[in-house]
């Protein structure tokens, strides 16, 4: 038992005058008053800890809620089985199968401890997907760092990449895509977003509601330690004078092996219909799981905290409830099924402990050695947190930014060198250094992954049913115009998915922003959510879920607003997928869409001139939709040999990537208009480059003209160099060397290269988690 007397409910009722450190816990005065009103007394120390966590920005979405409602108002379409609000949205993909997917941020932990922060980011999102009843089948990792050559990026990037790989590889989940973006606005605040998708039979969907009086509350998985108890640790020092051992909040360390066992054990429990409700333990740990399951079930619940298996015996009730120890789940089980659940847990070597039961009434009661330390209405924690309409102002510098003069265009004679510099620039160079550290093929269903536009994964070996997924976000565009920026991110992900031949059907998002208490950031957030909601309506892709990450800033400087959008697409036969690279010599190269002089926020302006200004490319969602239709039909009818969407770096980048894919060159004749520089480097949206066999050309171009989609034949695949007539000619090997050398030069050689390895100091203590 705890050495100190605990603050019980009866003690709290009889000592209203006790001063409580609510502001150190991040609660405002009126929030504290509201808690006292809900309870009709002062909260106990443990209750105060719970409210402070559940009413935090991270858990309550108190600043974003009013804006996110727009997503809930979107038409659901006829595929969405579970929408926003549950752990992740669920989409019907036919053949009796459903998929669930979601992207989440783990930005701050990954800055403090890159390896473990990123690793536990993967672990957390995978549990969200598992909770829905699905088998996780893939991960993706949209990442953003400070400048590539900044010394701290050398600390942060290798650790984050090793952590994503270390955890995902050990779980056996293929990494089918992601992003690596460098920009000084992320210096000191890298963005580590992690996405997971899972698959299940439609009738296996699990919900988190705890129902059925007498049902048992079972904690599954790892022991509970003092991981990430964060702000709550002030309770210890505020109440007790001596600073006992290990009071400091500690970094969460991931154990992917434990999570793998947890996944297999849970899936067997679902299949055997042994659980009534289930909830993962992530941020806010047991506090969140107990309150959300009981609130969702409109049930009472009693938890006996001393039954929770602990790593450190000296933990206090509030620490146990706040702990963010990884690899844990909470299951609601009937008493009859309990033995079977315990047996399955034993089979997989997973710890399982009955820690409570569903009760009559509507109170969540937590006891500690028979003393009541918590007695609350769970809805007050889970659902009825504060909601703010934060003040917003358009950033004062936006007009100046938008009207900034663009740098002068280079002459045609300079374009060859420019091309070589651009494909080697940190944001456009090959990601091989990163993705080679990821298992991209485990599970044996990866049809497309890096360096393709979208990852494509087969769901059914029998029918070829599959999904495509891409994530995109452009913080520079969003900085210049957050409404358009969010739509451009959506449009790019949509285009990436369509380029593979998949029909885009649903959206997830991770909204990375600065402090919501800064009215200019709040305005950016409001504009971006409005843009995304309008965009999703126009494209008929409902938002199934997502995540908001605020307070991404160093001192007073916020990151570029960075909505990261994930688009899910559906392929009824993955054998029809379209790859991004040129496949054969002698095929026609067609440019779809319309090129304008749009260089505001472009990669060229940034890489060559560190220039961020002007307006981002214009958005035309109707055009995106038509382009998507053409790409999908072209794949269905077997007309397309390759398709690659245009985005960062423009046509030049896409020509290089398409040619390098299989070493097939091209001879290109650019349209006269706008001049070769703009043709090559403009970042106009709504465009893609495709190749078609000569025999299909007419059929394809007619399909485009029927739909009003501009389609220009700009050349032919040919030889082993990239030749742009009257402009430049570069052998593919020279392009490849330039494209691939950048990241190894910055972060160490690739496997098999002769130079000595760089030290990996951020890996786990044993340094052996490599497989």
Ligand X SMILES: Nc1ncnc2c1ncn2[C@@H]1O[C@H](COP(=O)(O)OP(=O)(O)O)[C@@H](O)[C@H]1O
Binding site for Mg ion (CB under 5 A): 453, 496, 645
In the list 49, 84, 119, 143, the residue contacting ligand X (rule: CB under 6 A) is: 143
700: three-class secondary structure by DSSP: helix
3 state SS of 51: helix
Question: 398 in helix, strand or coil?
Answer: helix
> Nearer to Mg ion by C-beta: 263 or 497?
497
Do the Cβ atoms of 396 and 54 come closer than 8 Å? no
Taking CB under 6 A as the criterion, the residue among 472, 527, 598, 683 binding ligand X is 472
588: enclosing H helix or E strand: strand 588-592
Asked if residue 180 binds ligand X (CB under 6 A), the reply is yes
50: Cα separation from own chain's centroid? 26
Using CB under 6 A, pick the residue from 163, 178, 277, 395 that binds ligand X.
178
Cβ neighbours of residue 566 under 8 Å, at least 6 residues apart? 101, 103, 140, 195, 469, 470, 471, 493, 507, 508, 509, 510
The nearer residue to ligand X, 142 or 545, going by C-beta atoms, is 142
Encoded tokens for 302: 């009693």
DSSP 444-482: S-EEE-TTSSSEEEES-TTT--EEEEEEE--HHHHHH-H
Between 143 and 732, whose beta carbon lies closer to ligand X?
A: 143
Active site members: 58, 106
What are the distances in angstroms from CA 95 to CA 24, 242, 373, 462, 464? 53, 62, 49, 11, 11
| Shortest Å, Cβ 771 to another protein | 4
Q: How far apart are CA 173 and CA 117, in angstroms?
A: 18
Bridge partners of 218? 331, 354
Cβ pair 491, 621 in contact under 8 A: yes
327: contact with ligand X by CB under 6 A? no
Residues 495 and 454: beta-carbon distance below 8 Å:
no
Backbone CA torsion sign across 448, 449, 453, 459: positive
CB of 59 to ligand X, least distance (A): 27
* Burial class of residue 14 in the structure, from the number of CB atoms within 10 Å of its CB (0-12 exposed, 13-18 middle, 19+ buried): exposed
Q: How far is the CB of 768 from ligand X (least distance, A)?
A: 23
- Report 612-651 residues binding ligand X (CB under 6 A): 647-648
CA pair distance 176, 180, nearest whole angstrom: 14
379 Cβ partners below 8 Å, 6+ apart? Answer: 295, 362
The residue among 19 and 575 lying less far from another protein, judged by its C-beta, is 575
Sequence-separated (6 or more) residues with CB below 8 Å from residue 317: 2, 6, 46, 305, 366, 368, 373, 374
Q: Which residues contact 188 (CB under 8 A, 6 or more apart)?
A: 111, 146, 152, 554
Q: How many CB atoms lie within 10 A of CB 226?
A: 25
Residue 19 vs 751, nearer CB to another protein: 751
- Give the angle 51-54-57 at the CA atoms, nearest 5°: 120
Q: Which two three-digit tokens encode residue 318?
A: 């509030």
Does 179 contact ligand X by CB under 6 A? yes
SS3 content of the chain, % helix, strand, coil (to 5): 40, 20, 40
Q: How far is the CB of 430 from ligand X (least distance, A)?
A: 8
Least distance from C-beta 679 to Mg ion, angstroms?
19
Which residue in the set 20, 120, 175, 293 belongs to the binding site for ligand X (CB under 6 A)? Answer: 175
Residue 128 binds which one of ligand X, another protein, Mg ion, none, with CB within 5 to 8 A depending on kind? none
Question: Minimum CB separation from another protein for residue 749, in Å?
Answer: 7
Sequence-separated (6 or more) residues with CB below 8 Å from residue 259: 123, 126, 127, 167, 171, 221, 326, 327
Per-residue interface string for the shown chain with ligand X, residues 426-445, x marking contact by CB under 6 A: -----x--xx----------
Partner in contact with 397, chosen from ligand X, another protein, Mg ion, none, beta carbon below 5 to 8 Å by kind: none
723 belongs to the binding site for ligand X (CB under 6 A): no
Toward ligand X, which CB reaches closer, 51 or 115?
Answer: 115
Sole binder of ligand X in the list 31, 276, 357, 453 (CB under 6 A): 453
Q: Tell me the C-alpha distance between 126 and 143, whole Å.
A: 17
Residue 177 CB, nearest approach to ligand X (Å)? 3
Residues 6 or more apart whose CB falls under 8 angstroms from that of 439 comprise 165, 168, 169, 172, 173, 174, 175
| CA 687 centroid distance within chain | 25
Residue ranges of the alpha helices (H) in 540-620? 603-609
In whole angstroms, the minimum distance from the beta carbon of 396 to ligand X comes to 32
What residues have CB less than 8 Å from 67, skipping those under 6 apart?
525, 526, 529, 530
Contact 247, 236 (CB under 8 A): yes
Where are the extended beta strands (E) located within 344-464?
352-359, 364-368, 371-376, 446-448, 455-458
Nearer to another protein, 708 or 759 (CB): 759
By beta-carbon proximity to ligand X, the closer residue of 165 and 256 is: 165
Residue placing its CB nearer to ligand X in the complex, 182 or 550:
182
Closest approach of Cβ 560 to another protein, in Å? 27
Other C-beta atoms closer than 10 Å to the C-beta of 580 total: 23
Count the site residues for ligand X by CB under 6 A: 18
**CA neighbor of 439 nearest in space, from 95, 122, 209:** 122
Position of tokens 């038409």? Answer: 75
Cis (ω within 30 of 0) for the bond into 738? no
Q: Which does 3 bind (CB under 5 to 8 A by kind): another protein, ligand X, Mg ion, none?
A: none
Alpha carbon 667 to its chain centroid, in Å, reads: 39
CB of 107 to another protein, least distance (A): 16
Only segment of 66-74, 100-108, 173-181, 186-194 that touches ligand X (CB under 6 A) = 173-181
Binder of residue 443, out of ligand X, another protein, Mg ion, none (CB less than 5 to 8 A by kind): another protein
**Contact footprint for ligand X (CB under 6 A):** 141, 143, 175, 177-180, 431, 434-435, 450-453, 472, 496, 647-648
């Amino acid at each position: 038992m705890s050495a100190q007397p605990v603050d019980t409910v009866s003690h709290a009722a009889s000592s209203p005058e006790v001063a409580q450190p609510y502001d150190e816990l991040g609660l405002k005065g009126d929030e504290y008053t509201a808690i006292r009103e809900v309870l009709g007394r002062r909260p106990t120390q443990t209750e105060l800890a719970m409210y402070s966590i559940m009413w935090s920005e991270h858990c309550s979405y108190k600043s974003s809620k009013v804006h996110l409602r727009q997503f809930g108002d979107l038409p659901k379409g006829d595929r969405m089985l579970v929408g926003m609000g549950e752990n992740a949205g669920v989409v019907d993909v036919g053949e009796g199968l459903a998929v669930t997917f979601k992207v989440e941020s783990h930005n701050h932990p990954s800055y403090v401890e890159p390896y473990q922060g990123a690793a536990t980011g993967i672990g957390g999102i995978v549990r969200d997907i598992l909770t829905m009843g699905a088998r996780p089948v893939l991960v993706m990792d949209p990442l953003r760092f400070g400048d590539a050559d900044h010394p701290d990026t050398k600390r942060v990037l290798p650790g984050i990449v090793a952590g994503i790989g270390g955890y995902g590889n050990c779980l056996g989940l293929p990494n089918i895509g992601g992003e690596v973006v460098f920009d000084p606005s992320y210096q000191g605040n890298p963005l580590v977003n992690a996405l997971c998708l899972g698959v299940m039979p439609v009738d296996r969907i699990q919900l988190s509601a705890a129902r059925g009086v007498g049902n048992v509350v079972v904690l599954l998985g790892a022991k509970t330690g003092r991981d990430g108890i964060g702000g709550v640790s002030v309770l210890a020092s505020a109440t007790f004078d001596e600073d006992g051992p290990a009071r400091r909040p500690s970094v969460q360390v991931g154990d992917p092996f434990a999570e793998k066992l947890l996944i297999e054990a849970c899936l067997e429990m679902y299949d055997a219909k042994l659980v009534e409700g289930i909830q993962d333990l992530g941020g806010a740990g047991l506090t969140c799981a107990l309150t959300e399951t009981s609130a969702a079930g409109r049930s009472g619940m009693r938890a006996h905290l001393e039954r929770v298996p602990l790593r450190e015996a000296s933990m206090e009730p509030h620490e146990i409830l706040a702990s963010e120890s990884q690899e844990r789940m909470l299951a609601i089980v009937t008493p009859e099924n309990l033995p079977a659940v315990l047996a399955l847990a034993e089979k997989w070597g997973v710890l399982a402990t009955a820690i409570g039961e569903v009760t009559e009434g509507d109170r969540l009661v937590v006891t500690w050695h028979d003393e009541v330390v918590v007695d609350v209405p769970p809805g007050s924690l889970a659902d009825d947190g504060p909601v703010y309409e934060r003040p917003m102002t358009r950033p004062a510098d936006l007009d100046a930014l938008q009207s900034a003069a663009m740098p002068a265009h280079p002459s045609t004679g300079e374009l060859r060198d420019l091309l070589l510099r651009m494909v080697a620039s940190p944001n456009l160079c090959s990601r091989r250094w990163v993705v080679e550290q990821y298992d991209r093929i485990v599970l044996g269903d990866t049809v497309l992954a890096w360096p393709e536009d979208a990852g494509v994964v087969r769901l059914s070996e029998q029918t070829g049913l599959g999904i495509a997924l891409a994530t995109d976000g452009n913080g520079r565009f969003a900085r210049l115009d957050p409404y358009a920026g969010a739509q451009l991110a959506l449009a790019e992900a949509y285009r990436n998915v369509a380029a593979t031949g998949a029909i885009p059907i649903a959206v997830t998002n991770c909204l990375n922003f600065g402090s919501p208490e800064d009215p200019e950031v709040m305005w950016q957030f409001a504009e971006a959510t409005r843009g995304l909601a309008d965009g999703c309506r126009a494209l008929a892709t409902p938002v199934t879920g997502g995540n908001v990450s605020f307070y991404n800033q160093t001192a007073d400087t916020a990151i570029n607003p960075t909505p990261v959008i994930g688009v899910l697409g559906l392929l009824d036969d993955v054998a029809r997928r379209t790859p991004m690279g040129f496949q054969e010599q002698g095929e026609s190269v067609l440019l779809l869409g319309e090129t304008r002089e749009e260089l505001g926020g472009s990669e060229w302006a940034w890489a060559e001139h560190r220039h961020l200004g002007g307006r981002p490319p214009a958005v035309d969602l109707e055009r995106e939709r038509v382009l998507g239709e053409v790409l999908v039909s072209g794949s269905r009818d077997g007309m397309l040999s390759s398709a690659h969407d245009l985005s960062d770096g423009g046509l030049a980048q896409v020509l290089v990537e398409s040619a390098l894919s299989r070493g097939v060159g091209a001879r290109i004749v650019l349209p006269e208009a706008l001049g070769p520089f703009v043709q090559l480097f403009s970042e106009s949206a709504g465009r893609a480059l495709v190749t078609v066999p000569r025999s299909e050309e007419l059929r394809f171009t007619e399909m485009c003209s029927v739909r009003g989609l501009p389609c220009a034949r700009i050349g032919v695949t040919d030889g082993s160099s990239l030749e742009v007539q009257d402009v430049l000619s570069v052998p593919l090997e020279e392009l490849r060397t330039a494209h691939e050398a950048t990241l190894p030069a910055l972060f160490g050689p690739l496997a098999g290269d002769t130079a000595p390895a760089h030290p990996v100091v951020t890996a786990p203590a044993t340094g052996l988690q490599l497989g």
